[in-house]
Amino acid sequence: SRTTLPIEILINVCWLKLFLFLNAVLRPLAPHHVSSPPRRGGFDTMPGAWPWIVSLQLPTITGHKHSCGGSLVSARWILTAAHCFSNKRNLPHWRAVIGASKLSSLGPEVHVRFIKQVVIHEDYKPPQEANDIALMELDQPVKCSDYIQPACMPNATTDVDKFNDCFISGWGVLRDIVTVASDVMREAKVNRFAPALCNSSNWYNGAVEPNTICAGYAEGGVDSCQGDSGGPLMCKENESQPFWVIGTTSWGKGCGEAHHPGVYTSTQSFHEWIEKHIGPIDTVTPTTAAALQAPQGAQDLKGSKDTVATFFKLLQKLLHHTKKGKN
């Protein structure tokens, strides 16, 4: 007789990208990302280019308005910045828009969810910028698709220092003198800076806290800005590797000022805190059956020993259950 597979195994097939270093699985609609020359405000993204980025929106008289960005880290949880919720009310009426590119035109691929709860880091004490990190739980899980995928998150053993091909993306304003968010998601390539340089006297002069990352350009001109808060700093090692969300947008002096790059909360530094609240990131099991077909480009699988080992552990589970069902 036919064996029924446990739902957690079937679900993990959809979210197998957590185990595979496969660009086509991680970004199904952007398998070959080509860097463009940076310019102020970046450039428009293609739909599905960054499938883990979320628009967090406030309720207004005329409807919901983009306020902050975030990163989908599981079917129910979004990682963002704590300062997004300073003096903000009506949290149950906030909404998260997942899988979107143009906010004024949400297609059928987009999921809209409301907020069940917000968990702000217990040591975040505004106006200080330290521990500027928060989690939002959605009222319902999302289903993965070409447009919706969870972010790869570094743990304590991930060598993030080798990830130097970095991008930022979101719906933030294009200049700090503008108050209206961009309708279309935009992206820009940025450079990472050593903490010592970022804290030097003619840069931030010691104001940058530990557990943060500086990224932008020494000459300015390209940066995150208002409305990008909570959104991801995404980096990878080379073309064959996936992007990792190594930071969340926290603060900066102005937008695009010389010697004042964006400052991002290090997600690796808060990996234990994240897992304390949502469970192990690589075992969270969303409720979906949307992507059970073999991923495109699977023949190009490349990965580290640890990644492949994790994959085979999952495969062992599957085979063990199948064998047990035949007995």
Indicate left, alpha or beta for 41 from its phi (over 0: left) and psi (-120 to 50: alpha): left
Please give the sequence-ordered ranges of beta strands (E in DSSP) within the chain, or none if there are none. 43-44, 53-60, 63-72, 77-80, 95-98, 111-120, 134-138, 165-170, 186-193, 212-216, 232-236, 244-251, 262-266
Instruction: List, in sequence order, every residue forming a beta bridge with 184; answer none if it has no partner.
Output: 102
Among residues 83, 111, 121, 260, the one annotated as catalytic is 83
229 is catalytic: yes
The type of residue at 75 is A
Q: How does 131-168 read in b/e, with b if 16+ C-beta sit within 10 Å?
A: bbbbbbbbeebbbbbbbbbbbbbbeeebebeebebbbb
User: Do 111 and 99 form a contact (C-beta atoms < 8 A)?
Assistant: yes
Omega of the bond prior to 127 within 30 degrees of 0, cis?
yes
Among residues 66, 132, 182, 266, the one annotated as catalytic is 132
83 is catalytic: yes
Among residues 71, 229, 250, 266, the one annotated as catalytic is 229
Indicate the length of the chain as a whole number: 327
Alpha helices in 231-286 (DSSP H): 271-278
Residues marked active site are found at: 83, 132, 229
